[in-house]
Amino acid sequence: MAVLKHSTAPAARIGRVPFAAGALAAVLALSACGGGGGGDDQGGGQGAGQDPASTPSVKADPELAEMVPQQIRDQGALKIGTDSTYAPAEYLSTDGKTVVGFDVELFNAVAAKLDLDTRWQSSTFGTIVEGVGSGKYDVGVSSFTINEERMQQANMVSYYTVGTQWFTAKGNPADVDPDSACGKNIAVQANTVQIEDIEARSQECADNGDPKINISKFKGQDQATESIISGRNDAGLADMPVAVYAVEQTEGKLQTLGEQYEAAPYGAVVAKDNTELAEAISAGYQSIMDDGTYTEILAKWELDGQGTLDESEVNPSVEG
């Protein structure tokens, strides 16, 4: 869900990581910054990933733990809102309850540095920022692209950079060109930055006297992706890791189109009035970047080749 710094870096190959079985869910536990289930507590402390044994062991840093607001230290855990339909960043494991993914493993490592447990709660993407502001969640971790609009509502802590990637059915039977998709049927997840992108492209078509893009908005990225596989839509666009992972998991049913573009940082969401917690989380991310845990986790997901950051910041400067 990137907001829009131009980049033409090629999409990296995402490793095959097995996940939930069952009809399309077996193929499509996928999503980009949106969708999601109910509000059940998912638990999951450090190492709650698909293969906990391979998750790096992280020790608490007493100095970083002291940065955490006393109220959070007293409760001993962070309540985290996430849209668990967005593989490989955050999605449900084979038990249908445990939230896993590279976002999850990174943040679990951050929490461990702060001497805190994590309590992951599946939610609808569009409600998470509001939930953080109301106190329902302490943090939102759900592939949120940092942009000015979101930073007006909350503090955002940077930790990774991702762009948008188009994808379509294998062989591109509808002959979709992302730069000229007028009249095509395009699937996208609601409340994502990709909505802005596709609506702007559609308007440009109309301004040029061409048919508008037929945009289908879905609550979850899994639904958007399924609509392409079934032929109801010609193509879709999502965050690069999500699009590439969908291609990997559907084993020949999908392919990417072109390269990712408009890369921007992901950010963990913290309440606007809780800068203290945001700074502690930023320090936690910085610590795992400095000690190699960050790279080790991303390498497990074959995501260490691009998009990595050397510095975590609270409310970094981004292009509008």
Q: Which residues contact 220 (CB under 8 A, 6 or more apart)?
A: 31, 34, 35, 36, 83, 85, 189
Q: Name the strand (E) or helix (H) holding 87.
A: none
pLDDT at 25: 40
Q: Return phi, psi of residue 92, to 5°.
A: -90, 140
CA separation for the pair 11, 248 (Å, rounded): 13
**Residue segments in the chain with a per-residue pLDDT below the cut of 70:** 1-55, 319-320
pLDDT at 120: 97
Q: Quick: pLDDT tens for 33-42.
A: 433 333 344 4
Both structure tokens of 226: 């399924």
CA distances from 122 to 79, 82, 83, 90, 199 (A): 11, 5, 6, 10, 28
Q: DSSP string spanning 151-169? A: HHHEEEEEEEEEEEEEEEE
The class (CATH top level) of 23-162+263-300 is alpha beta
CA separation for the pair 264, 147 (Å, rounded): 8
The CATH number assigned to the domain with range 164-262 reads: 3.40.190.10
pLDDT at 21: 30
pLDDT at 51: 52
CA separation for the pair 45, 66 (Å, rounded): 20
pTM, rounded to two decimals: 0.74
**Of the candidates 68, 103, 95, 84, which has an alpha carbon nearest to the alpha carbon of residue 31?**
84
The three-class DSSP label of residue 140 is strand
Domain boundaries, the chain: 23-162+263-300, 164-262
Q: Quick: pLDDT tens for 256-295.
A: 999 889 899 999 999 999 999 999 999 999 999 999 999 9
pLDDT at 5: 29
Pure H helices in the chain: 23-27, 62-65, 70-75, 102-113, 128-134, 148-153, 193-207, 221-229, 240-249, 275-291, 293-300
Type of residue numbered 319: E
**Whether the domain at 23-162+263-300 and the domain at 164-262 fall into the same CATH topology:** yes
**Of the candidates 26, 141, 7, which has an alpha carbon nearest to the alpha carbon of residue 84?**
141
